[in-house]
Structure 1
Amino acid sequence: MGTIFEYRQILIEGTLVTIGLAVLSLVLSVGFGLLGAFAKLSHARGLRRLGNIYTTFVRSVPELVLMMLIFYGGQTLVNDIGRATGLWGYVDVNQFLAGVLTLGFIFGAYMAETFRGAILAIPIGQIEAAKSVGMKPRQVFTLITWPQMVRYALPSFTNNWLVLVKATALVSVIGLHDLVWNAFAAGRSNHKLFTFMFAVLVIYLIITALSDLALRWVDRKYSAGVKRA
């Protein structure tokens, strides 16, 4: 414990980076997920095909491979375009940004399936009734679709979030000083790698436990009327 306390500052800094990475990736993944869900439910064949390609591609490629492709391949592509067009000089892709984009893109595919299933679970009669009384599409979404979609999506959403939190550990391979990277560096410096990895395990358990409590509260809030009925 003394060794952990001695390196507490870099562990705290790494934990804050990990939490920030997870939260921003979650926000981005929700955006991708909503777009993907509406694309897959669209009446336009092209949009449905695009949504299916997105979800199938992401779920077929390992997260680590996508992260390496986006970080190294994306950096090469951006610099090649800049060199060919002369519009900008050398661009060094930030590891944090690459991590957010990669995790958001990956988990957006899982969120798309979550939201699609939740929307399909809403009785179609409610949406038709809302339209029949003159509600605009935005009103239908905010008053009918969204509240029920959240309730139906929460179990799978919770699982996606917890998996996303664990997946943040992958960013350490591209050099981001997150919790895993900092703990590994500290453990290797004093030959107590197991001690620091165990500390990482405990911190991740705390994050997921607090997340589970928060999402349970959200679930109770959106399910209150249903439980009373």
Structure 2
Amino acid sequence: MFHGYLPMILSGLKVTLSVASTSLAIACVFGLIGALAKVYGNRTARSLANTYTTVVRALPDLLVMLVVFYGGQILLNKLSSSYGWGYVDINPFAAGTLTIGFIFGAYLTETFRGAILSVPSGQLEAGVAYGLSRVQVTRLILLPQMVRHAIPGLTNNWLVMLKATALVSIIGLDDMVHRAGLASAATREPFTFYALIGLIYLCVTTVSILFFTAVERHYTKGIRRVGDA
């Protein structure tokens, strides 16, 4: 049915999942920095964070991907030639993950900001009163409780990010979508192979939902018991 291309496409799934997981880690870093800047930063930090979230969320993901990959490569090579270095070729995996992480970092900034504001400020003040430093208050009190409030938004962003990984095929990364395109071109059966990767995305999405539901249940277990009481 798949003319022997199924193992090749499933191998491309590993690339897709690697792009998605790496992008999520990068997005969490950008999102956490942006959220902390919006909530606790000075006027300059808040302005930079607001500009970041406003501009990035207003632009199409594909446009940002192309600008970073092609525009970034042109900029790097101009700098390289000015210093007498050789030609610089941007790795598609690095460009793809950094771009997707940068884009979804803007969305996670708002997710994390809302989660931070959901933590009672009295608990943070109590931590300072007990002699904890700002870093300790953030690490021991703020972040553990913030995670619980951020899980629903994080889940939604992960699901959208997972679908956005299909964009990396545009810049030449050999992911599942790219391999499905090669298979469909060779067999002239595009519907078969694109339906296949659609089914694979659906399976991965379903597993992801089950996983994040279990994580949310774990973090809200004690809260629910108190509410039931």
Q: Secondary structure in 2 aligned to 1:135?
A: coil
Alignment correspondent of 1:146? 143
The answer to whether the aligner puts 1:196 opposite 2:193 as a matched pair is yes
Cα RMSD of the aligned pairs, angstroms, is 1.0
Q: Which runs of 5+ in 1 are unaligned?
A: none
Q: Which runs of 5+ in 2 are unaligned?
A: none
1-structure distance, mates of 2:135, 2:42: 19
2-structure distance, mates of 1:48, 1:187: 48
Cα shift readout 1:67-121 (whole Å, capped 9, x = no counterpart): 00000000000000010122x2101111111100100100011111100010011
1-structure distance, mates of 2:48, 2:2: 51
Alignment correspondent of 1:32? 30
Moved over 3 A (4+): none
2-structure distance, mates of 1:81, 1:43: 33
Asked whether the 8 Å contact 1:147–1:222 carries over to 2, the reply is: no
Cα shift readout 1:143-193 (whole Å, capped 9, x = no counterpart): 211111011111111000000000000111111111111001101211110
| From 62, 69, 82, the counterpart of 1:64 | 62
Aligned length: 226
Cα shift readout 1:184-215 (whole Å, capped 9, x = no counterpart): 11012111100001100110011111111111
Using structure 2 for the length normalisation, give the TM-score: 0.96
Alignment correspondent of 1:3? 2
| From 98, 102, 124, the counterpart of 1:101 | 98
The answer to whether the aligner puts 1:135 opposite 2:122 as a matched pair is no
* Identical residues among aligned pairs (%): 49
Q: Secondary structure in 2 aligned to 1:41?
A: helix
Using structure 1 for the length normalisation, give the TM-score: 0.96
Q: Secondary structure in 2 aligned to 1:172?
A: helix
Alignment correspondent of 2:15? 17
Quote the offset at 1:14 in angstroms: 1.0
**Residues 43, 69 of structure 1: alpha-carbon distance in 2 compared, 3 angstrom cutoff:** closer
The code of the aligned residue for 1:62 comes to P
The code of the aligned residue for 1:83 comes to S
